[in-house]
């Protein structure tokens, strides 16, 4: 009886070792996308009042966890019964990421914000609407990036048993959410930590200098993350196209892959931006 119990424990330990090894390999292969995910979501989780940063980030984190709960079982089922659908879903997601990245560039270059002086109630309502819209956009972007992370993680365990596949993908998905949004939370609260250090130090000494540095560094980091996040969206989308469309995979072999992927993502995004622009124009004409 005791020997049977210890045999079960030994089997569980062996299984955990296999899962840990597979998860380690999967994490290495998804490191680039996790970095892009961090840059994109850090940019999306900023730009709010200090009191709203953590609630907004928590809302996005919950949405990310829900995304993983949806994606993981669907990815496993599709891989088992209809694997070709996975590539199709990735390509569709790639077009969305490309559009979001290029649309930000177009918005920055051609759509200058007009200065207005709204009433206080309008500011509050606009802030609430903008917050909901940004959370929704962040969760949707997280969904697309999560699909890519889960598919890559699943690809590293295809030759393993179904149990190891399920556990590996689940571990990577959970680590991706906790790791990415944990770091984002630290970034968006840098200024609060800086103010506390300044206050506790009496505005003197090393702690004061560190506090001042954190406060001044946050706006710069946010701007850098906004830029990096936009580039990341285009690069990830281009990578999806290159790795899932054979023709594009063998296109321009002498050019570094990062340049090819960025160029393809940029072109795809421009196509979707133009399509959406004229689609909106036609829709507005038909409504009149």
Q: How many domains, in total, are found in the chain? A: 1
- Residue range of the domain that includes 184: 2-287
Residue 199's CB is within 10 A of a number of other CB atoms, namely 12
197 alpha carbon, distance to own chain's centre = 31
Specify whether the backbone of 205 is left (phi greater than 0), alpha (psi in -120 to 50) or beta: left
Compare 17 and 168 and report the one with higher pLDDT. 168
Compare 265 and 158 and report the one with higher pLDDT. 265
Dihedral of CA 42/48/51/55: which sign?
negative
CB 76 within 8 A of CB 169: yes
CB 187 within 8 A of CB 4: no
The proportion of the chain whose per-residue pLDDT surpasses 70, expressed as a percent, equals: 74
CA distance 24 to 168: 9
CA distances from 260 to 207, 236, 239 (A): 46, 12, 9
pLDDT in tens, 202-261: 878 888 888 888 888 877 887 787 787 788 778 888 888 888 888 887 777 788 888 988
Q: Tell me the mean pLDDT in the region 52-63.
A: 82
Q: Tell me the mean pLDDT in the region 82-108.
A: 84
């Amino acid at each position: 009886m005791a020997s049977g119990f210890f045999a079960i424990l030994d089997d569980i330990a062996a299984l955990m070792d296999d899962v840990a090894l597979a998860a380690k390999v999967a994490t290495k292969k998804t490191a680039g996308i996790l970095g892009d995910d961090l840059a994109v979501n850090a940019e999306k989780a900023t730009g709010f009042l200090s009191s709203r940063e953590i609630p907004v980030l928590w809302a996005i984190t919950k949405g990310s966890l829900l995304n993983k709960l949806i994606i993981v079982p669907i990815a496993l089922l599709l891989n088992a019964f209809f694997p070709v659908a996975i590539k199709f879903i990735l390509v569709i997601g790639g077009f969305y990421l490309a559009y979001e990245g290029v649309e930000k560039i177009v918005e920055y270059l051609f759509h200058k914000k007009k200065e207005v002086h709204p009433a206080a109630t309008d500011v509050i309502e606009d802030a609430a609407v903008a917050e909901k819209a940004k959370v929704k956009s962040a969760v949707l972007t997280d969904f697309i990036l999560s699909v890519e992370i889960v598919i890559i993680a699943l690809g590293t365990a295809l030759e393993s048993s179904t149990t190891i596949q399920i556990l590996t993908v689940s571990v990577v998905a959970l680590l991706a959410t906790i790791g990415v949004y944990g770091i984002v939370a630290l970034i968006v609260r840098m200024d609060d930590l800086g103010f506390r250090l300044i206050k506790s130090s009496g505005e003197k000494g090393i702690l004061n200098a560190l506090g001042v540095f954190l406060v001044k560094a946050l706006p710069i980091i946010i701007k850098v993350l906004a830029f990096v996040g936009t580039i990341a969206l285009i690069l990830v989308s281009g990578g999806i196209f290159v790795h899932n469309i054979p023709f594009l995979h063998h296109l321009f072999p002498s050019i570094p892959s990062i340049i090819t992927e960025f160029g393809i993502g940029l072109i795809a995004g421009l196509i979707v931006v133009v399509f959406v622009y004229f689609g909106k124009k036609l829709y507005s004409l038909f409504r009149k």
